Structure 1
Amino acid sequence: MLSENSKSNKFENFLLIFILLQPILDLLTAFCIMVLKIDTTIGVITRLFVMFLSGIYILIQTKKQGNIKYILYIILVGIVFTIGLVNNKLTKDPMVLTEEIKFIAKALYPFVMLTCYVFVFKSLKEKSHSNSKMRDYVTYASLIIGVVMLASITTGTDYNSYEWVKLGSRGWFYAGNELGSILAIMCPIVILYSIERTKSIGKAYYWIPSILVVYSLFAIGTKVGVGAIFGSMAIAVVMCFIQAFTQRKDGKKHAYLLNGFLAITVFVGILAYTPFSPFMKNMGFHFQLIEQEQSAKKEEKKKEEAKEHKPPVTEQEKEKEKAKEKVAEKKEETQALIFSGRQLFEQMYKDFYNEAPMSQKLLGMGYAGNYKEQPKLIERDFHDWFYSFGIIGFILLVIPFLYFGIKFIACIFTKFKQIFTVKYAMMIAAILLGLGISFMAGHILIAPGVSFYLVIIMAYLIVDLEIE
């Protein structure tokens, strides 16, 4: 019989390989949904099973000093979610129990996996194993995605990112938004891999994974993807030259200068291609749609005013009214551009919340709120958390982000020289991209296939900087 340590070691090695398996699970998910026409996919089943095994692994690891707080937190969140579920069973109609449980599992997934990978990286650190394996496996996973995107687009067998008008490709994957979010989080880590591996001009081929990620993000055609490209490349360029200057005496100056110039070369190529990319064409479609909607509203308003027979107004009053309309139009246009209509669903949830009983305000309205017809999420993760799990649930869910965020800020003051490097700048960029996208566009924290990448990077940073 294998010893407990041996089993733990095997599971830790499996969890590292599990990073590499993510795009394969996503491809199998797409195959199940689009070809086999089944909703219960291999990807969902596998991730839930690994989450269950991770829970057992966490329980085994709690006997180690400092680990008990993680399991206590997960148990507390589980209890609050269960009470909320029971409350919704009594107060919500309609309510689909399976959908509610599935939504809770998706919300718990990043916290279980964050805890699990913190323990895994701590174990690797204790054994003096290189934690760069995380960076390497994320890069290998990105290569699988990049090759699939390239092959599918080249052969013309890819699927469109959008159902109508807008341009973009999601390769052979199922969800374009989630794929874009995955690659956006990966982008800084893959660029970091390229920088750390390229020691001379002869090894410039290590930039191929970064170019593939950039290609894939452009191909998808989303705002998220292009934002990630520009943000990641700008940070890489600046930090390479800063580190070349700060480490000019220890022999690494030339490698960072080389990578700085390689990053600039790639960046110039990105700038040259951007005007011809699906993203720019989609922005044109988006502005046209906004203008059409605003014109339709103006026509409707004119008809209403004609029916009401309003008394004549002075030129000064007309000018004031026009100025107000312009401000309102600009605000509406900005919101539509940033949130792509999500603000309308947010207003719907606000109405649900205002009409909900106090128990639901505290414990949440569950999956999709108190809907009457078709369930629909806001697709802004923190907003969905608040309305789904209430004030108590939301506070519990954001505690880890606040806790580790404060610990990291404190760490900056004590380890500034260590942190102010390309490595940590790119890792922090990946985390901020993940959290920023989850706030603005969703498809991160309640999408297990995406939240996975965010939490493994967070887990690495927590262990590497010792900010538990």
Structure 2
Amino acid sequence: MDKSTNTVNKFILVFIVIQPIMDILTTFTLSFPISVGSLLRTLFMSVLFITLFICFSHKNKKKNFTLMIMAFSGVLVSFIINLLLKSHFNWIWELNFYLKVSYFLVIIFAVLYVNERNCVSTRTLYTATTITSYIVGCTYWMAVLTNTSINSYRYDTSGYSGWFFSANELSAITLILFGLMSIQLIQKKQLAHWFAYIIILSMLPMIGTKTAFIGGLVLISITIAYILWKLRLKIWRDWHAIAFIMIIFLFACFIPYTSIGNNSPPENHVSPTQNELKANSELEALSTYELLSQKILSSRDIYFAEIKKDYLHAHILRKIFGLGYAGDYQNEPKLIEMDFFDLFFSLGIIGSLFAMLPLIFLVKHLIFKKPYFEIKYLLLFTIVGLSVGIAFLAGHVLFAPSAMTYLSIPLMLIGGHKNEQTQTS
């Protein structure tokens, strides 16, 4: 490993490890004109953008350079058009959103650069993941046990987000870390990985969100299926497998006493009031599809309808390059919180297409290579798939700089593993 590559690895290690620290500091500095996390990530994004711009400007990187120019031109044009044509343009809200979109693009291009250059060791990424898991898990339980945790929901639904401001972002982060620790547990089975796995596992039902819990169940199911297949169902031959099954069994036993268990429909039947009877009759009138949509979308369909209306009545230039942040808001703006729809309505037909091209190019780069049918690839692609699913249904992934940083880890690991396999073959 040459000196420059070693420097990149150290930088990546430190940057990943300080992510949860920045998130916690952000929570406690939200009342400031600019939070610690926003300031540091903006500085990081600016430095990385300049670095990538210089690197891609070389002759052998013209494709990446062209993609970069197109993507950021779409963002810049969208910003300028909405600055000129939007009736209510709040500089703070709008600039904050466009910076988040830019952060998403910078991370995608950074992953492309890392995977093409193969300049980050998979060992560095896994080490950073383990350390970060301890920081996230320990601070989370410190917040819960000291009764200083932020509630995941404002109203009746139960859940804890620790000292992390957004439960939705924490759900995506926890799910990514949990999947990566599952790979660590399968590959190395060291005591440090066991503890990190357990502490992240314990968070899944406590956050209270469906995304963290259901996604965690998917990853657990894949891991159990792999262990049973590898041992031909004879788990008594491997004490690691026995320990894992026991941990999952205890996890299942404690679910009814966790936040996600409290959020499930009650089993007991209490005599309904007149209002409840009326509500029940209205629910019965809805189709199964409508009920399922309400449950999954959580009123996002309402915000979708409002922004869609804004889009249909917008100036032609704003249809092409987007409505900016949250459509034509009058008072407090509200995103749909479905990342791909937010991207389309915010950047328009051309802007969103330009922004998606780097992601499509990255996916092509990761998938259409020589395939390797191993459990680590299955879990890595599952992590990415679940994250994309969360982005589509619940948001807070692509335009959440913290979650997007964590998502870059499995994306770099897929490319890194493939590069290592290619080099050793």
TM-score band, normalised by shorter chain: 0.7 to 0.9
Tell me if 1:173 matches 2:131: no
1:151 aligned to which of 142, 145, 152: 142
1:379 aligned residue (337, 355, 378):
337
Q: Is the 8 A contact 2:339 2:392 kept in 1?
A: yes
- Any idea what the Cα deviations from partners look like across 1:286-330, whole Å, max 9, x if unmatched? xx9xx979935968xxxxxxxxxxxxxxxxxxxxxxxxx856343
- Amino acid corresponding to residue 161 of structure 1 in structure 2: S
Aligned to 1:20: 17
Map of 1:22-421 to 2, 5 A cutoff? Answer: 22-33=19-30, 37-62=31-56, 66-120=60-114, 123=117, 125=118, 130-198=121-189, 203-204=190-191, 206-243=193-230, 259-284=240-265, 295-296=278-279, 326=284, 328-411=286-369, 414-415=370-371, 418=372, 420-421=373-374
Report percent identity of matched pairs. 26
| Cα shift at 1:60 | 4.0
Name stretches of at least 5 consecutive residues in structure 1 with no aligned partner: 246-252, 300-324
In structure 2, distance between residues paired with 1:52 and 1:8: 21
- The structure that has the greater radius of gyration is 1
Partner of 2:379: 426
SS at match of 1:433: helix
Q: Per the alignment, do residues 68 and 267 of structure 1 end up closer, same or farther by CA in structure 2, a change over 3 Å counting?
A: farther
- Which is richer in helix? 1
**Paired letter, 2:348:** G
Q: Report the CA distance between 1:358 and its aligned residue.
A: 1.9
Q: What letter is aligned with 1:295?
A: K
Q: Could you tell me how far 1:399 is from its partner in structure 2?
A: 2.4
SS at 1:283 equivalent: coil
Summarize deviations over 1:95-142 as a string: whole Å, max 9, x none.
Answer: 11332222111012122123224434555x46xx74221122122111
State the TM-score, normalized to the length of structure 2.
Answer: 0.88
Distance in structure 2 (CA, Å) of the matches to 1:53 and 1:8: 18
CA displacement 1:356-383 (0-9 Å, x = unmatched) = 1221111100001112222100111011
Quote the residue 1:314 is aligned against: none
Contact kept, 8 Å, 1:236 with 1:263, in 2: the verdict is: no
Kindly indicate whether the alpha-carbon contact (under 8 Å) linking 1:182 and 1:450 is maintained by their aligned counterparts in 2.
Answer: yes
Give, in angstroms, the shift of residue 408 of structure 1.
Answer: 4.3
Deviation string, structure 1 residues 20-78 (Cα, Å, up to 9, x no partner): 11000011101112xxx225111111011111111232134336675343232122111
Alignment check: 8 A CA contact 1:241 1:256 kept: no
CA distance in structure 2 between the partners assigned to 1:454 and 1:256 by the alignment? 35
Question: What is the 5 A alignment of 1:437-452?
Answer: 437-452=390-405
Q: 1:242 to 1:66 in 2, by over 3 A?
A: farther
Distance (Å, rounded) in 1 between the aligned partners of 2:226 and 2:137: 25
Cα distance in 1, alignment partners of residues 275 and 61 from structure 2: 56
Q: Secondary structure of 2:28's partner? A: helix
Amino acid at match of 2:105: F
CA contact (8 A) 1:26 1:43 kept: yes
Q: What amino acid does structure 2 have at the position aligned with 1:428?
A: F
State the Cα deviation string for residues 131-177 of structure 1 (Å, max 9, x = none).
22112212211110100112222222222111221111111222222
Calculate the aligned-residue CA RMSD, in Å.
3.0
Counterpart CA distance in 1 for 2:70 and 2:236 is: 48
Change in CA separation of 1:21 and 1:74 when aligned onto 2, cut-off 3 Å? same
Contact 2:29 2:36 in 1 (8 A): yes
Give, in whole Å, the separation in 2 of the partners of 1:92 and 1:115: 30
Q: Deviation of residue 353 (structure 1)? A: 1.4
Q: Distance in 1 between matches of 2:48 and 2:236?
A: 39
* Distance apart, 1:447 and its partner CA: 0.6
Q: Distance in 1 between matches of 2:249 and 2:415?
A: 34
Which range moved further: 44-53 or 78-87?
A: 78-87
TM-score normalized by structure 1? 0.80
User: Can you list the C-alpha shifts for 1:394-419, whole angstroms capped at 9, x where unaligned?
Assistant: 222222333343454433xx42xx2x
Q: Deviations over 1:227-281 (max 9, x none)?
A: 1210111111222344557xxxxxxx99995554443333222322223321132
Distance change in 2, residues 1:139/1:170 (3 Å): same
- Which moves more between the two structures, 263-272 or 147-156? 263-272
CA distance in 2, matches of 1:295, 1:387: 37
